[in-house]
Chain A
Amino acid sequence: MRVLLADRVPEALGLLAGDGAAIPVAGGTDLLVHWPVRIDAHDRTYVDLSRLEDLKPLRWSDRELVLGGLTTYWDVIQDERIGREFPLLVRAARQVGAIQIQARGTWAGNIVNASPAADGVPVLMAYDAVVVLESGRGREEVPLDHFYTGYKEMRRRADQLVVAIRIPRRPYSYQVFEKVGSRRAQAIAKVGLAVTRSDAGWRVVAASMAPTIRRCPMLERLLEQRVQVAHPGDLVPAITQDVSPIDDVRSTAEYRRRVMARVLYDDLRETCGWP
C-alpha cells in the first residue's frame, strides 16, 4: 500500500494526475470501515487530503453558501447561521452516524462515496447544490442532480477532487428532511426524503429508493401543478415512475414505496391543502 501526503491542493492534484488509480482520503469514515479485513483495499495507492487547510473552511457570500472540500458534518452542526438558513443541512448532519462520525465525515466524501442511502446528498440536492471539481486541467462545476450517472457512477474523473460545494441562497417557503431508519440513531436510511420549495420551484429528492439518490420529476410536477391528492395511494403512480426501490439486507421495496408515499403525503398535506 502507498500513501501520498499532500499539504496543498495543487500538490494533491498533481499526485492524483500522476497516478490514475490513486484514491483520495478525507475523513476515512467510508474508506476505513472494516479496514483490516478488506485486504484488497490495502493494495492500492491513496492521496491524503486531511492536511489541505484550504479545503476546510466554509464561506458565505451574498448569493451562496460554499462548503469546503473538507467541511465536516460537525462544522455545519456548529454553524448557527446554517441552522437558520439551511436547516435541512443541520438536520441531516445530526442524523449521520453519531458524533464520532459527524466529527470526521465530510460532505464531499458523502457525495463521492455515492451511497444511494446517504443523508448529506439528498439535502444538498434539494437545495440545488453544485459540485465544484478541480484537477490539474482546471475547474468544472456539475449540479449535484446531474452528478450521478448510475449506481456508484458519477461525473467525476479519477484525477478530480471535490474542492467545494456551492449552495445558492434562496428564501424557502417549505423544507423538510425525513430519514426512516431501523433505529433512531446511527442508522442507515431505509427511506430518505428531502423536499424544498422556493422561487425555483419544488424539489423532491429521494434516498434509498433507487441506485442513486435522485430528484423525483413526476412528484415535482404533481406539486407544481397543484394536483389534488386524497390519500397516500394517489402518490404511488408518480413514485413508481420516479424511483425503483429494491429488496435488500435493510428493507423491502414494498415497504420503501409505501413509506415514501405516506411520509410525503403526511408532510405535504397541510401545505398543499390535501385532506
Chain B
Amino acid sequence: MTLSIGFTLNGKAVSMEADPAERLLDTLRYRLGLTGTKEGCGEGECGACTVYLDGLPVNSCLVPTYQVRGARVETIEALDPVQLGPFLEQGATQCGACTPGVVMTALWISAHPELLETHTVRELMAGNLCRCTGYDGIVDAVATTIGEVGEGGRGKGEA
C-alpha cells in the first residue's frame, strides 16, 4: 500500500505517494533529493537528521513520513546562509557530518533566546552529537548569534 500525503516543505506545497515504512529522513534524502539532512545513527541519538516539524526541531529518522501530512517541514536547505558567519568564524564545523543538524538546532536556539533563561546552550545542544569539534566551536557560535560573549574555548585565560 502507499499513502497519499501533502505537506509544506521549505515553504512550498508538496504532494506525494509515500510507502508506509518510509521515514521522513529517507523521503527527504532519497525521494526529494534534499541530502543536506544527514543520517548518523537512525536511533534518535545523534541529531544529524534534525529538521523542523511545525517549528520544533525533531529527528527525521524517527518520523514516519505519513505523519507530516498537513504539517510544515523545514530543512537545512531553507536556511539563510547569512546567519552562518559565526559558525565559520568559531570553527563550528569540521567533518561536517553532524553539521546540518547542529545548525538546525543552533539556529532554533538563537531564534528562541528566551530558552536561555531556563536552559544552557550546552543542554539544548545535547541532542546533536559531534565527534570532531569538542563542541566549543558550536557553543561559541550559538552564543555569538545571540549576542553573548563565548562561554566556550576562548574564554578564561587563554593566550
Contacts and interface: CB of A to CB of B under 8 A. Distances in A.
Direct A–B contact present (CB less than 8 angstroms): yes
B59 A3 contact: no
A227 interface: no
Given A1-B21, A98-B127, A104-B63, A36 B42 contact: yes
A101 B127 contact: yes
Interface stretch (A27-35, A126-134, A152-160, A262-270): A27-35
Contacts of A147: none
B61 A35 contact: yes
B124 interface: yes
A51 B57 contact: no
Nearest to B62: A32
B26 to A, nearest CB: 8
Contacts of A220: none
A33 B44 contact: yes
Interface residues of B, number: 33
Interface string B108-129: 0000000000010001101110
Interface stretch (B64-72, B92-100, B139-147, B151-159): B64-72
Count class of interface residues, chain A: 20 to 34
Given A35-B23, A100-B57, A29 B62 contact: yes
A42 B21 CA distance: 7
B23 A101 contact: no
A185 B126 contact: yes
Nearest to A35: B23
A99 B47 CA distance: 10
A185 B62 contact: no
Contacts of B21: 1, 35, 42
B57 A48 contact: no
Nearest to A183: B126
Interface of B: 1, 3, 19-21, 23, 26, 42-45, 47, 50, 53, 56-59, 61-64, 66-67, 69-70, 105, 119, 123-124, 126-128
